[in-house]
Every structure is written in structure tokens, then in C-alpha cells.
Structure 1
Amino acid sequence: MNKNYEIHSGKLKALSDTNRLMIIDMLSCGELCACEILEKFNITQPTLSHHMKILCECGLVLSRKDGKNNFYRLNELEIKGFKAFLSDLFQDSDDCICK
């Protein structure tokens, strides 16, 4: 497994915010419109846009525009790799940096 610590640390930084963690949790149920996400938070639309930009830039979330609405969903392929990285990080493995 390629342990690209820099890329994965960006994902961890993106997830270090409570609101972004909650957004990821919401998106685990499926694709949502930005307006549906915004309903659950006491934040402004520009603040939500900022959070979504960070989640998209780190690769955990994908977005698409349909008319005036932005829709977001989890990037399952990227999340699969991130989960594998975390699993490998917390256990002894052949490619551990201590070896």
C-alpha cells in the first residue's frame, strides 16, 4: 500500500471540524442538495460553501451542479483508500516506517 502521508493528512485536517464530520455523516445516507445540508446547521450559505470546498478539495466528497442547485455525495473510491490507510496505520504491517 502506498502510504502518502501528506495526502491523508489533508483528509484528516478536513475532518477535524465538527460541522464537516457531521456533513460526512449526513452524506453517508446518500447524495444531498446543499439546501438539505444547510437546513441541519445554524450556519450561513457561504460558510457551508467553505466547508464543502474543503471536503471536495481533499477528495472525500464529490459535487455536481443541476440548475441552481449543488448536490454532494461521498467519493466512495477515495474513502475506501482512506479507510485502508487508517486501518494500516494502526497495525503492524510489512511497509511500516519502523522497519
Structure 2
Amino acid sequence: MDLQLLEKQLKAVSDTNRLTLLSCLKSGEVCVCDFVDVLGISQPAVSQHLKKLEEAGIITARKLGTWKHYRIVENPSPIIKTVLDQLEERELCNCRPSSSC
């Protein structure tokens, strides 16, 4: 594995907010608008966290109207797979998979 990518991925999952985002994404695709309520932080702050995860190759996004919808990549690296396996899926966080904001 590329050491720079590994460093990016480890840094990306070393934050509680980003781990919370990943635990929500375990249930499927989620709109960025839902994450604002989940984390209780501003939309720009949520976007920065999502950007870190996307740059690390952990999540991917697709644009639907004015909103972006995020999901975990199809084949995460073994290290990220291990991290994801340790996270409980967060159903209580009001994430709405494939929400139509």
C-alpha cells in the first residue's frame, strides 16, 4: 500500500466526528443535510470532515440536485475495513439513507 495514502486514511479516521459519519454511512448512502443534525455542527464543518474522508479514498459522493449524497467506497482498504468493522451502525442518528433533501 502507498504510505502516503495510508497516512491520509489513518488521519481521516482519527477524528470522532469522522468516525461518527462513517458509522452512519454503514447503513448506506446519506445526504450531507442529515449529517448536520447528527453532529450538531455547521454544514461547512460537516463538509470539511466529509472532504477529508473523500480525499482519503474512504467515501465517495454523488450530486443529486443541490445536495451531495455520500457512501462508503465499494472496496475499502483492509485497514479501513477493519475500522469499519469495529464501528457500530448508528441507527439512532436520524440518518436517512438516500434522502431526498
Q: Same fold (TM over 0.5)?
A: yes
Larger radius of gyration: 1
Q: Which aligned runs of 4 or more in structure 1 are off by greater than 4 angstroms?
A: none
Query: Quick one: distance in 1 between partners of 2:81 and 2:37?
Result: 33
Q: Which runs of 5+ in 1 are unaligned?
A: 87-99
Q: Give 1:50's aligned residue.
A: 48
Tell whether the 8 Å contact from 1:8 to 1:82 is kept in structure 2 after alignment: no
* Percent identity for Structure 1 against Structure 2: 35
Write out per-residue CA displacement over residues 65-88 of structure 1, whole angstroms, 9 at most, x where no aligned residue.
Answer: 1111110000021x1x233896xx
Structure number with the bigger relative contact order (C-alpha 8 A, sep ≥ 6) is: 2
CA contact (8 A) 1:20 1:51 kept: yes
Local SS of the residue matching 1:43: coil
1:20 alignment counterpart: 18
Tell me the secondary structure at the aligned position of residue 57 of structure 2: coil
Aligned to 1:83: 79
Alignment partner of 1:76: what SS? coil
Going from structure 1 to structure 2, the CA distance change for 1:85 and 1:20 (only over 3 Å counts) comes to closer
Q: Distance in 1 between matches of 2:43 and 2:79?
A: 30
| Alignment TM-score, normalising by the size of structure 1 | 0.75
Q: Is the 8 A contact 2:58 2:80 kept in 1?
A: no
Q: 1:31 corresponds to which letter in structure 2?
A: E
Shift of 1:41: 1.3
Computed over aligned residues only, the root mean square deviation of the Cα atoms, in angstroms, reads 1.8
Aligned length: 82
